[in-house]
Amino acid sequence: MKPPAIFTLTSKVAAITGAGSGIGEAIALLFARQGARVVVLDLDEAAARRTAERIVATGGAASAIACDVSDAGSVGSAFGAIDKDHGRLDVLVNNAGIAHVGTAETTPEPDFDRVYRVNVKGVFLCAQAGLPLMVRGGGGVVLNMASIASLVGIPDRFAYSMSKGAVLAMTRSIAVDYMKKGVRCNCVCPARVHTPFVDGYLAKNYPGREKEMFRTLSEAQPIGRMGRPEEVAALALYLCSDEAAPMNGKRIDLRGAV
């Protein structure tokens, strides 16, 4: 007897921000393999297209839309296109985000504002645009990408930690406001994950010492290594699947230890 399929997203429309690379790309690829019609949203249109092309090349369904999540006009245009092309939205993954290194004293105001615009305002704008489509269609799932930085003190991450704390709070607010309308909202709080951003950060801040610092950062993780984008994607799949129906307003830590 063939076992029943679980964790499927067959025929669901899933929009994923920041899906041109890293965690967002891994989520897009996995969701497509599980049957979703994926809308790849990214500020970098070429990167978004590459992800969508990878999905289509393996038999999946995907489209790419350039979207600046910090700009209301860009978000409105992107979600308008989703509505026009699909007529619905079942899953929204707010993954797009940027990092920053600095304390309260060393963080320039323009940098603080930029982190806020992308990491906080971006989640707000995409939720504001996506939720009406979900409610109109009878329900859906919003998954926000927070961070372990929203829970513990990490040195020199003042603005970034602030922004991810806001994402955690927004997750709970959306869950409460929309649970009677059939919409669930949860968030994932990963520890350090090895993505192209990490490689770029090391090259910029530790030229010539990249391997040494990569080892140091990896060994500082509870599991002795950085997480992988595919591991975050697997958790995202569960939270966005029907099997996770009881999960709402939840924060899931992904750091290898209690």
Contact assessment for residue 163 and residue 116, using Cβ atoms and an 8 Å cutoff: yes
Q: What is the dihedral of CA 94, 186, 83, 8, to 10 degrees?
A: 110
**160 part of the active site:** yes
Contact assessment for residue 162 and residue 117, using Cβ atoms and an 8 Å cutoff: no
Cα 63 to Cα 83: distance, rounded to the nearest angstrom: 13
At 185, phi and psi to the nearest 5?
-145, 125
Q: Which residue has the tokens 């971006």?
A: 122
Nearest CA-CA partner of 236 in 79, 54, 15, 44: 15
Amino acid letter, residue 11 = S
Nearest CA-CA partner of 67 in 132, 16, 124: 16
158-178 and 122-136 are packed helices; what angle lies between their axes, rounded to 10 degrees? 20
As beta bridge partners, residue 197 has none
Q: Which residue has the tokens 């289509």?
A: 56
Sign (positive or negative) of CA dihedral 156, 160, 166, 168: negative
Out of 116, 160, 178, 238, the active site residue is: 160
Sign (positive or negative) of CA dihedral 146, 143, 50, 118: negative
At 239, phi and psi to the nearest 5?
-65, -25
Active site residues per annotation: 160
